[in-house]
Amino acid sequence: MEVLFFCHKKFPVKYLLILSASPAMNVHTLARQVAWAAFRANGLVQGNYDVNKYNKASNVLFTKHAQERLSFLPEGSFSVANLASKH
């Protein structure tokens, strides 16, 4: 099943452009806010932005997706490191 947000005639659109309401906003701030909104939508965090909550949610999401993408490998043949431990 493929889900598309928009279609123009017979041309499926697979990309979504996100613009800031503030023309002077730094792109890094916008990217962080978009990621925070995605974490909230997935139920990984609640409330306002906090760097510790962000790191934990990022690690949970990274681990989940890494395990899914590496699931074709034999059990125990790979490990997923905690991103926060790299700093």
The CA-atom distances, in angstroms, between 71 and each of 8, 34, 42, 74 are: 36, 28, 22, 8
- Helical (H) or strand (E) element with 31: helix 27-41
Q: Indicate whether 6 pLDDT > 90.
A: no
pTM strictly above 0.85: no
Q: Which residue has the tokens 């697979």?
A: 14
Q: How confident is the model at residue 85 (pLDDT cuts 50, 70, 90)?
A: low
Instruction: Give the tens place of pLDDT for each residue, 18-69.
Output: 888 888 889 899 999 989 998 998 899 999 999 999 999 999 988 888 888 8
